[in-house]
């Protein structure tokens, strides 16, 4: 059984600083998709570890330093905890958590056209999206991330994936995303606006 019984499953991939999260939220809003972060359990764990309210922690800037962590940034902290989960707990732990959240939310609320994964960072995550009948969208930039990590090697592009170059303004990115939105609406049978 596929993880989702809904019409659409999209995973958005992109290394740090490419505009991946903003693009994902734009797509979710305009396609009426329920957004999901693979890293949600990591965010919750990190907030609890430093005894910070989850909403406050979630809204901290990614490059903001956290004094009680020896002036490491939120991004560095999240990467380290994510690496721990992948290497010490189970490489598929976060994907199983995502599947469970999607299935629970679909059982209780069917007001959306589908689901959108906001943070596809690894090949195993992209393969999960594809295996479940989803579309992977890559947000790319010519410049390298300022805070490079092994997770920023990016996801390998499959021939069926969509690649969007984001080297311009937010408005230019939105125009490119609008074209993708129309394509997805047409392919999934949603009304084209």
- What's the mean pLDDT in 11-16? 91
181 vs 187: CA distance, rounded Å: 10
Q: Look at domain 8-37+104-186 and name its CATH class.
A: alpha beta
Flag whether pLDDT at 57 surpasses 70.
yes
Residue-wise pLDDT tens digits, 21-35: 999 999 999 999 999
Residue-wise pLDDT tens digits, 157-177: 999 999 999 999 999 999 999
pLDDT at 164: 95
Surface-to-core class of residue 25, CB atoms within 10 Å of its CB (0-12 exposed, 13-18 middle, 19+ buried): middle
For residue 178, the cross-strand partners are none
pLDDT at 181: 95
Q: What is the DSSP string of 28-88?
A: HHHHTEEEE-TTHHHHHHHHHHTT--HHHHHHS-TT-EEGGGTSEEHHHHHHHHHHHIIII
Model-level pTM?
0.87
- What residue spans define the domains of the chain? 8-37+104-186
Flag whether pLDDT at 118 surpasses 50.
yes
pLDDT at 146: 60
């Amino acid at each position: 059984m596929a993880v989702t019984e809904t019409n659409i499953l999209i995973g958005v991939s992109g290394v740090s600083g490419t505009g991946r999260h903003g693009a994902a939220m734009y797509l979710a809003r305009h396609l009426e998709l329920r957004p999901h972060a693979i890293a949600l359990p990591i965010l919750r764990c990190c907030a609890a570890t430093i005894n910070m309210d989850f909403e406050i922690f979630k809204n901290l800037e990614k490059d903001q330093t956290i004094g009680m962590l020896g002036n490491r940034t939120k991004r560095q902290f999240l990467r380290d905890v994510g690496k721990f989960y992948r290497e010490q707990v189970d490489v598929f732990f976060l994907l199983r958590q995502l599947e469970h959240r999607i299935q629970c939310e679909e059982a209780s609320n069917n007001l959306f056209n589908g689901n959108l994964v906001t943070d596809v960072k690894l090949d195993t995550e992209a393969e999960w999206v594809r295996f479940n009948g989803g579309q992977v969208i890559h947000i790319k930039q010519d410049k390298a991330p300022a805070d490079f990590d092994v997770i920023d090697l990016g996801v390998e592009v499959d021939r069926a994936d969509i690649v969007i170059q984001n080297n311009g303004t937010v408005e230019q990115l939105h125009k490119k995303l609008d074209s993708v939105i129309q394509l997805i609406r047409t392919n999934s049978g949603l009304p084209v606006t």
